[in-house]
Amino acid sequence: MPERQNLPYLTVTTVNTLIKYKLEGDSDLRDLTVKGEISNWKRYRSGVFFDLVDGKGSVLSCTIWSDSLLYLTFEPKDGDEVIAYGNISVYAPRGRYSLQVRNLQLFGQGAALLALEALKKKLAAEGLFDPSRKRAIPRFPKAIGIIVGRDSAAEADLLRNIKRRWPLADIYDFPAQVQGADAPKSVIKAILKAQTYPIDTLIVARGGGSNEDLSAFNDEQLVRTLAACKIPTISAVGHEIDITLIDYVSDLRVSTPTGAAEAATPDQEEIREQLLNCEDQLKSKIKTKLSNYRDKLKSISSRPFFQNPGSMYQRTSADVTHLKESLELAMRHRLELKIKRIESLEARLKSINPENVIKRGYSLTMDESGMAITSAKNVKPGQTLKTKLKDGIIVSKVTEGE
C-alpha cells in the first residue's frame, strides 16, 4: 500500500476556489428572488450582514453592501418578512457562501414585485429582451417623436435639448398619460399613432417617482407594443436606479429625458467643429496637391522640347537625312555589284559567241536549214552545205564523207 502522504491531494484553498467558481458560475444561482425573515441584522461601515430564515428552520447568510443600502425604500430590522434579490457569492478563504443582496422589499410590497419578476422572466423567455433585437439609433435624425406627459418637466427638457443640439430635426410630440390606471392604454395609443408619422427615433420618457408611479411602464401589453414598434426607441423613465420593463425592450435605455435627447441627436457644435476641421484638412490637401502639380509643371516646362519645340523636329530631320544618305549609298553599292555581275556574264557570253570564234579563223558549217553540222555522220553525199567564214559564206555540195 502506498504511503498516504504520497497520494495526490488538493489544498483547502483549491477546494474553496473550485466551490466558488462552481456556485458563482451557475446560472440557476444568479438573479435569485428569495422570501424570508430577517435575523441578526448587523450594520458595518462596508455594509450589512444578516440571515434570512424560514419556518422550516433553514438559514441563508446574506450580505448587502453600502452602495445598495442607498436604494432601500425602508429601514430593515430583525423580524421583517422580506423579498431579497441577488446572487449566490462565495467567500473562498472561509469556504462560506451567502446571498449577495442587491435590493430588499417588504413582503407586502414584494408580492407585486414577485408578479413583476414572473412577467419579466416570461417576456425574457420569449426573446423580447435579446440584445440581438436592439437596433442602432439613427445618428442624424430628420424627425424625432416624443411620448411624454403634457406640459411636464420631462417634455420641456426634451424639447429644449433636442432643439439646442440638433435644430435640423422635426419634433413630433405625442402627449400621453404617464401615471395611473389609464396610463398604459394612453402610452400604447401614442406609440401606435407615432408609427404613422415619418419618424426616425421615438423617445418614451417621464421623470422619476415611486415604484407605483412608474408601474404603468411595466404593463405587459405596453411592453409588447413597444417591442413591436417599427421605429428605433429610447426609454427614459425615472432615474438611474429606476428600471422598468420597457427599458429591456427599447433599443436604448437612458436615465433621464436630457440623456434621451443627447442619445437621439448629434451635437451641432461638435458637428460644426468636425466640418471646420474637415474643411481645413481639405484646403490643406488641395493646397499641397496644387503645389505638387505646380512643381511638376515647372519641371516639365523646363525641358528642352518645351524651351525649343523645333529642336525635336530638327533632330528628327537630321536623322532622316542621314538615313537617306545611307540608303542611297547602299543602293549605289548594290547597283555597282549588279553591273559588275552583268559585265562578267556579258564577257563570258562574248567568249562563247560563235561569231567571235569565226573571227579568230574558225568556220561554221551548216545544212541548208541553217542548223550547225557537228558530226560527219550527219552529212550525206549530194547534200548542200554552207560554210561561214569571217568574211563570207561558201556554198558546197558533198561528194564524199570520211
User: Which pLDDT does position 149 carry in this prediction?
Assistant: 94
User: Which pLDDT does position 1 carry in this prediction?
Assistant: 46
Please work out, in degrees rounded to the nearest 5, the angle formed at the alpha carbon of residue 329 by the alpha carbons of 327 and 330.
65
CB 386 within 8 A of CB 368: yes
Whole-number Å distance between alpha carbons of 315 and 317: 5
Q: Which segments of the chain have a pLDDT < 50? A: 1-2
User: Which pLDDT does position 303 carry in this prediction?
Assistant: 77
Whole-number Å distance between alpha carbons of 39 and 53: 7
Verdict on whether the full-model pTM lies above 0.75: no
Whole-number Å distance between alpha carbons of 393 and 365: 9
User: Which pLDDT does position 133 carry in this prediction?
Assistant: 94
CB 194 within 8 A of CB 172: yes
Residue spans of alpha helices (H) in 139-267: 153-165, 183-194, 211-214, 220-227, 245-249, 257-264
Enter the C-alpha cell of residue 107.
413582503
Whole-number Å distance between alpha carbons of 193 and 151: 19
- CA 69, 70, 75, 81 torsion: positive or negative? negative
